[in-house]
Every structure is written in structure tokens, then in C-alpha cells.
Structure 1
């Protein structure tokens, strides 16, 4: 096959509704969240070739390789393996990039890849001796290993991102998500779970004036609040990614991965990891940009650094409004790009990017193929 034949292309993309931790999806374990999405992808478009593997990002699950468990629960057969990826918040996008790399290498031609998180059912973690903890070490303490919230406050302060600008960004995210829900924009990408068919978190009439009343959530005098930061959430998202040769044989449009990059930055400034990753993919003014909105100040610092207009990011709302199911969030970005660019025809190129714990960043540049 030629290099173009081995170009990785997403031909189907689905996700669950995103639930608030302890909310509508609280009873679903990680494999119970992911399995319906995997089934839906094959029901949407069975490529007629053997799926080589299932790759799923996951951060706080029970272990035991949730990707394999989800594949079995989905009825995909005992012969199909599974691999679980943990790159913290970037896990879902990293799983998709890993599947794409396997296609480029000629190892296989069809993969299911994405991510899943159930904060509601995540097990309690303890060190020997019984001390509980919620955050694993992201770096040696002497290099700086801050909690996410204080790190976001530092990043925003050093970048000169005002509280007012953060609140305006968050209010816009909610307004866009509420509008998209009302317009049915998400309907074709969401896999219904029981009676749950819509994202829980978006809030109507959440304007900047209302957001300004929230107090700093993490540090005294800080600018990150519960309203301009993401939530703790449950959800799953995945794609069917195949070689360009398979896509052509199917005669369907798709979203081709043109370039991707994974980079690191100082762990103490962990919210800035996306900056070197975006620069590495050399983004030529993409038509659509999806960036995981962990904290408004952190996102704005990254966008300013790489010269991306904040008004163009997450046109149907981002993680501040929709939620941030950690291991799934990077895959949600690709699902959103697929439906916006391929299904709805709103442009031909897209960028998915996010920062991750430990000072990491992943970016992926996509192009529509028809």
C-alpha cells in the first residue's frame, strides 16, 4: 500500500451524554459506559473488515484493562484484544492517535479508539497504611506537582488573563452548549443510556454577571471558580478509525489525521502543555477548533500563546459547559469535529487539542476526505 492508502481516517464517531458525577450516569461503570458506544459505531458503519483492537483512555477506573472489558461487554468477541491508555486528561485523544499510528505502520486497518470515565464509580485509593488520596503524583515533588486548581490560577495570573475575561469565556461556553442542545446539534452523536439522552451540565442564563458572583475556588485571590472551571463528570466517546484504502472502498466521507504531536512542559505549569503540541502540528488556520476547557484561564493562556481566536474555539460549547470526563474528553473533541466537519459540512479542517496532568499536551490536525 502507498502512504496515502495508510492514511488514518475516522469514519464514525459517537459519545454518551456527559453526566455530572453522582448524577444521571452514576450507576454505570466504565465498561458499561463504553460498551454501548462501541456497539453503536459498528452499527453506524460496519467496515466489513476485522477490527484489530480496541484502545480506550481511562484515568480513575478500577484497573483490569477496561478497554478489554468493554469490548467483551459490547459483544465484539473473545478474539478482539483491548488496551487501556492513561495519559490523564489526554488519554482519549492519545488512544485515537495510537490507533492512527498503528494504521500508518501497516499493522492494521480498522480500530475502535476513544476514552471513558466514571467519576461516580471510581474506587477509593489509599496508600499503604490507609491514607486516602484522589490525585496520583504527576511529577517528583521537587519539580513542582501542584493541584490542578492552584496551577490554573498561577497560569492565568502569569499570562495576565483577567477574571472578567474568564467569566465571559465560561458564559459563552454555556450559552453555546444550551443553544446546541435546543437545536438538536448533539442528537446524532449521542448514544442514549437508559432514559439519559442529553448532557447534564449546561446551564441556561449563566451570563458573565452571574458568574462574577462566584468566589475563588482554589486559592485566595485566585480567578478560577466553580463556574469558570470544568466539572467532575461521567461519559464515554470513541471513533471507528480505518485506513484511507478502507474508507475509499466503503465510499463514505471521513476525517483524516494529517498531523499529531505530544509534548511536555514544566509540571508546575501543567495547563500549558498544549502550547508546544499545537505549535508542532503547524496548524494552518483550521476551520474548527475543539479544546478541552479544563479552566477558562488556562485555555485562554494557551490560545493567546499560539495565536488562536477564542471566539472560534468550541463553537457548540466545551468542557466548562458540557463537562470533562477525564479519560474521555480528548475523544469527545474528535467526535465533535467529526460531526461538525463531516456530518454537517461546516468546514474542511479541524484542530483538537488539550493540556494534561504532569505538564503534557496533545494536538491533532484533521482534514475532511470525501
Structure 2
């Protein structure tokens, strides 16, 4: 018997810049508190204890050893609760949420915790034959496999996205995030850790944007229009609709994972969003809130352009995106779902409102999900 999968709770850590406040916490110490908080919130919202069938977390850079299972144990969910770890690189956290939802929709009518975690600060150094490398290949030998910064520069050139436009996009993200932080719109979703109570990069690059040098000779990208490498975690609780009681939430209406040209991986979110909306029977104009991971300003703008969305559309990352908050790779897709929950469910959007979370992925992938508010 199939069932709708509903997000009824959503939490995240503050995002910390690599090497700063969260640098002493490995993946299980980042993930366990948000897993625990999401589970507790969901049980409170549903009005009864929840049996958790699985914990599914995205993670990119290690340390291996199935971090989701380790986090489940560290969160105190019990030895009988398993765990599984998903690697779709920057889309891992969102892919983990979709995997958990798919199990419920296939008929396993038990709750699940899903999300993502990344500790860039403690990621192990990998090597082949004694030679260290920063990442594994995203494509086989003979295929394009650009570094993500290089790929974003190529995309900026291909789409004619100049520096001024990129600077404006990054500045807008910081302004929106600062306003949301100051208004307390992040407070209910945050689980403070290691003394960090707010995302630590909001506003930092904004002051420097006009003066930052380009990263490549003759290019347009700067450190301010690329996200900061970060540490953080996010988790959501999903239940079949029959178990949510009167709890409001986000029901999954459509989702997609697509491939695209590995030479221009930053565009992947665009066809993924289009496919997810098609499955949900909706169009771009029907969506009340978008949370699209801003890996780079040029990449974000290229995705918006392909979707026919204006640069400054207030529906897109209305409280700022990864350019302001930071980008903990394996967690960012899950943070997008947490942000949709905050904007739409906690924010009081009416039943039927649609939200979309999406990410472009190294190697040429896109991941997207369309959710509908239920009350």
C-alpha cells in the first residue's frame, strides 16, 4: 500500500566556515544533535512516539564507516535503528530525503529521519599510491571533469554572466540572510553547537565584493561569488500521512534526479526542477518558494535563467542562500528542505502552497523535489 511522505519536522546546525567554530566536531557529532532534535520535534508534533525505521544521511568527503548509522547511535535512537549513507556529492542531503520518502511511498509506513552532514574541517586526506588528492573523479578518463570553480567560470562565460551581475546576486543573498537572522526567522530551525548560534559567514563577503580579485586571469568569479567551504548538518523527519495527525508539514509531490553535460555541471538543477514540477503537475509560476543551492553566483544565475526566473525573484532563497550561509557539501541539499519548512510551514503559508528544493551536482547531475504544504 503506497502512502504520501510528509516532512513534519526540520532542523539544522548553524553553518560554520571550515576551520572555525565547528572544526572540532566530526560528522557524527554534527549530525547526532539534529537527528535527535528532528525526531523529538516530530514526536511532539504528531502527539505520539515515533518508531524510526531508518536514518538516511548524505555525505561527500568521509570519513566513511557509514556516518548515518554512527549518527543514529550517537543520537540515542537505539541499536535497532539502522542507517545508510548517500553520496550524490552536493546533492547528497536532498537525495537522502528523497530515498527516505521513496521507502514510505513504496509502502513501508514507518517514520524516517533523513538529511545530510559534512565536516570539511575533519575530512580525511585521500591518496592513491601515496599521492594525495582533493576529490575522486566525477567522470571517467577521457570525459570533461573540471574543478567546480573552473566549471563555474566556464558557465559564466558560456552564458555571458558578468562580474557585476554575480556581485549583485551574492550581495542580495547576504542582505536577505542578514535580515532573516536579525528578524529571528532562523531561530526555530537551529540547533546551536560548540558555542555557534548563527551561520558565521553572513555579511562577511558582502563588504568586500567590489574589491575582491578575480580567481582566474580574464575571468569573473571571485571568492565572494563562490560559497565558503563549510561544516554543518541538517535533518528532517518524514512520516506517512496517516501518522502525522494534525501536524502541518510538506508532502512530497514530485522529484527527479537527472544527468547533464559533465563539462557544465552547474546547470543540472534546471532540468531537475523542470522534471520534478512536471511530475507534480505544476509549473514554475505555481511555486511559492524555491531553495536552490547557490554553489556559485554564476551557477545560480545560469539555473534561474534556464527556468525563466528573474535574478531578484523574491521566491528564490528569500532568506539568503549558500552564498551567504555557507556550503557544507553533503548537508546543503537537506538544508534547502529545512529552509522550505521554515519559510512555508513555520511561516504560515496556506495549505496547497508549493515549494521546490534543488541542487546542481559535480559530474553533471541535478536533484530536485517539489513539496506541497499540508495543514
TM-score, normalized by length of structure 2? 0.94
* CA offset digits 1:291-342 (Å, max 9, x no partner): 1000000110111011123323101000010000000000000000001100
**Alpha-carbon distance in structure 2 between the residues aligned to 1:239 and 1:119:** 21
Structure 1 contact 112–240 (Cα < 8 Å) conserved: yes
Which range is displaced more, 280-289 or 332-341?
A: 280-289
Q: Hey, what does 2:225 align to over in structure 1?
A: 228
In the TM superposition, what is the alpha-carbon distance from 1:107 to its structure 2 partner? 2.2
Q: Hey, what does 2:262 align to over in structure 1?
A: 267
Q: Hey, what does 2:340 align to over in structure 1?
A: 337
2:363 corresponds to 1:364: no
Report matched runs for 1:143-154 at 5 Å.
143-154=143-154
2:21 corresponds to 1:53: no
Q: Secondary structure at the match of 2:355?
A: strand
Q: Runs of 5+ in structure 2 lacking a partner?
A: none
Match of 1:245 among 242, 245, 251: 242
Q: Hey, what does 1:69 align to over in structure 2?
A: 70
Q: Hey, what does 2:185 align to over in structure 1?
A: 185
**Alpha-carbon distance in structure 2 between the residues aligned to 1:99 and 1:301:** 30
In the TM superposition, what is the alpha-carbon distance from 1:276 to its structure 2 partner? 1.4
**Alpha-carbon distance in structure 1 between the residues aligned to 2:152 and 2:373:** 34
Q: Hey, what does 1:122 align to over in structure 2?
A: 123
Structure 2 contact 58–86 (Cα < 8 Å) conserved: yes
Runs of 4+ in 1 over 6 A off after TM superposition: none
In the TM superposition, what is the alpha-carbon distance from 1:222 to its structure 2 partner? 1.4
Structure 2 contact 257–365 (Cα < 8 Å) conserved: yes
**Alpha-carbon distance in structure 2 between the residues aligned to 1:322 and 1:268:** 27
Which range is displaced more, 319-328 or 301-310?
A: 301-310
Q: Secondary structure at the match of 1:173?
A: helix
Match of 1:317 among 320, 323, 327: 320
Report the number of matched residues. Answer: 361
Structure 1 contact 178–204 (Cα < 8 Å) conserved: no
Structure 1 contact 54–68 (Cα < 8 Å) conserved: yes
Structure 1 contact 175–205 (Cα < 8 Å) conserved: no
* CA offset digits 1:170-204 (Å, max 9, x no partner): 00001111111111110000001132111101116
RMSD of aligned C-alpha atoms?
A: 1.3
Q: Hey, what does 1:41 align to over in structure 2?
A: 38
In the TM superposition, what is the alpha-carbon distance from 1:205 to its structure 2 partner? 8.4
Q: Hey, what does 1:290 align to over in structure 2?
A: 291
2:281 corresponds to 1:276: no
In the TM superposition, what is the alpha-carbon distance from 1:127 to its structure 2 partner? 0.9
Q: Secondary structure at the match of 1:231?
A: coil
TM-score, normalized by length of structure 1? 0.95
Q: Hey, what does 1:211 align to over in structure 2?
A: 209
**Alpha-carbon distance in structure 2 between the residues aligned to 1:102 and 1:358:** 26
Q: Hey, what does 1:134 align to over in structure 2?
A: 134
* CA offset digits 1:144-163 (Å, max 9, x no partner): 00100110001111111111
Structure 2 contact 205–224 (Cα < 8 Å) conserved: no
2:93 corresponds to 1:98: no
**Alpha-carbon distance in structure 1 between the residues aligned to 2:212 and 2:226:** 11
Structure 1 contact 88–356 (Cα < 8 Å) conserved: yes
Q: Secondary structure at the match of 1:114?
A: strand
Structure 1 contact 295–320 (Cα < 8 Å) conserved: yes
Are residues 23 and 204 of structure 1, via their aligned partners in 2, closer, same or farther at CA, if it must alter by over 3 Å? closer
Structure 1 contact 171–206 (Cα < 8 Å) conserved: yes
2:165 corresponds to 1:168: no
